[in-house]
Amino acid sequence: MDFPSVDLFDDDADDTPRVDQAEVDRQNYVAKVCRLSADKTHFSVDRDGVKMTADLAYYMKDYRKALSLYRQLYTEFGCNSLSVKRDILECLVRSLLAVGDVKTALGHWEEIQEGWTGHEDQRLVVAQLRVDIARQEGDWGEEIGALICQLVEMHNTFTRYWVWLADWYRENKEEVKEFSSLVRAKEVGRLEGVKCSLKLELLDVRIKSSKVDQVVQERIQEVICRDFRDKAEEDEVVKEFEDLGTSVRMKKVEEAFAERANVNENSLEAANVIYFFEQKWFSFLQ
């Protein structure tokens, strides 16, 4: 019995060029351009939009524009959140410092100091802001020295604070303690690695240019380097996990400082803060 058949494959090859439709679509695509006028209008009336615009201006170093917008935020927009008010005031202070208006910056800093220093993190920010103001106006008094000591105590693994301390000792003609602070800043900077808050090369220049006696320099470097080696060895020892939440960490900081300072009515005075600090960090110089 014969069955009908058909040749499904043509002997002649199909040389018709094939079109990549996806590639054609990509080449012919025209990007849409969004108009900015709507966003600009939105920013002009919305508090968050003004804040973002002010932050961008500060980032771009247009400090006068940033200052104008932060002032607008502080005076025109109502806000029930104390944290937001404190944040805007801090931005206002930093913008004032950037344009050189130290006196007005200090006035706004006093507002922050009086109203929004509820816990240790906030006090840290306020203290750092006060030191920034003091450094810009050339205030190297005992009160500022005590603030820097407290900053170092709270974060002694932050290079910038040790350099600030070295600057304070330099201005107060204490070369040995300045040198010691610089060496410790350099060791801390090595621990910070690529995230170091200062260039270690700058520290090297200051360390090498120090006029402290060479024997004393070698003694200081030996003691501080040994401290860091001992600390590194301690960190390698496996310890039982301890959950240090924010409140627990802050409590430990306060207790440690109180224990070192033997807190009483006079322990909050600047001279006492500096004294107890130096007893801890510079006792090997005695």
What CA–CA distances, in Å, run from 67 to 56, 74, 125, 244? 12, 10, 20, 38
What CA–CA distances, in Å, run from 105 to 96, 100, 218? 6, 9, 42
Residue 26, pLDDT > 50, answer yes
Strands (E), the chain: none
Q: Of 55-69, 184-198, 202-216, 249-263, which range is least confident?
A: 249-263
Could you tell me if 47 and 85 are in contact, meaning their C-beta atoms sit under 8 angstroms apart? no
Please give the DSSP secondary-structure letter assigned to residue 286: -
What CA–CA distances, in Å, run from 265 to 118, 123, 150? 21, 20, 17
What count of other Cβ atoms lies within 10 Å of the Cβ of residue 153? 19
Could you tell me if 186 and 207 are in contact, meaning their C-beta atoms sit under 8 angstroms apart? yes
Q: What is the dihedral sign for C-alpha 122, 114, 277, 194?
A: positive
Q: Of 98-112, 177-191, 263-277, which range is least confident?
A: 263-277
112 exposed, middle or buried (CB, 10 Å; 0-12, 13-18, 19+)?
buried
| Model pLDDT for residues 84-98, shown as the tens digit of each residue | 788 888 999 999 999
Question: Which domains occur in the chain, in start order?
Answer: 41-115 (1.25.40), 140-230+249-286 (no CATH)
Of 193 and 101, the one with more pLDDT: 101
Predicted confidence at residue 144, as pLDDT, reads: 94
pLDDT-derived band at 5 (thresholds 50, 70, 90) equals: low
Q: Of 30-39, 171-180, 220-229, which range is least confident?
A: 30-39
Owner of token pair 């205030």: 139
Vertex 94: Cα angle to 194 and 130 (nearest 5): 85
Mean pLDDT of all residues in 250-264: 46
Give the predicted TM-score (pTM) of the model. Answer: 0.69
What count of other Cβ atoms lies within 10 Å of the Cβ of residue 176? 16
| Model pLDDT for residues 95-129, shown as the tens digit of each residue | 999 999 999 999 999 888 876 555 667 778 888 99
Residue 6, pLDDT > 70, answer no
pLDDT-derived band at 277 (thresholds 50, 70, 90) equals: very high
Residue 41, pLDDT > 50, answer no
